[in-house]
């Protein structure tokens, strides 16, 4: 029995949902509400399961893993029939490079907990938080756009014409950028790839608006 603990708007959980969908793996979805003021992620039951109290958290039989990169790497090794990484060592490193621009440079600085800390502990207002969020997204997207637009491995997707690891990371970050009204007009390559991703059923099924914990209103 596979179980994914997630939150509809968590981009990290979104990545894992895409990876599971691309690999055709069924799972039970357990929603953990991360909305500010809600303490579900700090409940004794969830902290016993996942001491960090964050999402995603993945259970596969006796296997229990937190952190989306670790979960996705586990899925890649445990269920290799549909590969998210290219065959060559160099291309695999390149795929991880692209993914890590999101995972290491953009997302950690714009995580919900960081944005809440900016407000609560540093007294940042909404305008300052928006400026912070936009700055780090644009910095990462500039690098990705330049890299992808000049690399001959770029195809319909980040690498060739099959969706893979880099796309799994890119699409949720673009979704989140739109949510925060980040201007994206200077990133035609990223937007083209995002459109190709979201034409696929795996990406549609994983989208935040299609999760069972998505608010009706």
Contact assessment for residue 71 and residue 165, using Cβ atoms and an 8 Å cutoff: no
Q: What is the pTM of this model?
A: 0.95
* The predicted structure's pLDDT at residue 78: 98
Domain chopping of the chain, boundaries: 2-82, 89-203
Among 79, 131, 141, smallest CA distance to 107 is for: 141
- What is residue 33's predicted lDDT score, i.e. its pLDDT? 85
Domain 2-82 and domain 89-203, same fold? Reply is no
Nearest Cα neighbor of 200 from 162, 173, 145, 144 is 162
What's domain 2-82's superfamily in CATH? Answer: Glutaredoxin (3.40.30.10)
DSSP-derived secondary structure for 37-96 = T--GGGSHHHHHH-TT--S-EEEETTEEEESHHHHHHHHHHH-TTS-SS-SSHHHHHHHH
Provide the pLDDT for residue 36. 64
Q: What is the CATH number of domain 89-203?
A: 1.20.1050.10
Residues of the chain with pLDDT under 50: none
Q: Given this model, what pLDDT does residue 216 score? A: 65
Q: Looking at residue 42, what is its pLDDT? A: 72
Mean pLDDT for all residues in the chain: 94
């Amino acid at each position: 029995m596979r179980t994914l603990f997630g939150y509809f708007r968590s981009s990290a959980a979104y990545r894992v949902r895409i990876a599971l969908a691309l690999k055709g793996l069924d799972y039970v979805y357990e929603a953990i509400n991360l909305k500010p003021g809600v303490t579900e992620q700090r409940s004794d039951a969830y902290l016993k399961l996942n001491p960090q109290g964050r999402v995603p958290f993945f259970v596969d039989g006796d296997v229990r893993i937190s952190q989306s990169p670790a979960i996705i790497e586990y899925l890649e090794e445990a269920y290799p029939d549909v590969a998210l990484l290219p065959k060559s060592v160099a291309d695999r490193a390149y795929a991880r490079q692209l993914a890590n621009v999101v995972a290491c440079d953009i997302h950690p600085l714009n995580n919900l907990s960081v944005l809440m800390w900016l407000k609560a502990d540093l007294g940042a207002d909404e305008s300052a938080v928006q400026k912070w969020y936009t700055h780090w997204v644009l910095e990462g997207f500039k690098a990705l756009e330049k890299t992808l637009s000049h690399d001959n491995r770029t195809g319909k997707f980040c690498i060739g014409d099959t969706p893979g690891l880099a796309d799994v990371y890119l699409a949720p970050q673009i979704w989140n950028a739109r949510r925060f009204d980040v201007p994206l007009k200077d990133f035609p390559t990223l937007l083209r790839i995002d459109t190709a991703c979201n034409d696929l059923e795996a990406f549609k099924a994983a989208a935040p608006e299609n999760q069972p914990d998505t608010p009706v209103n």
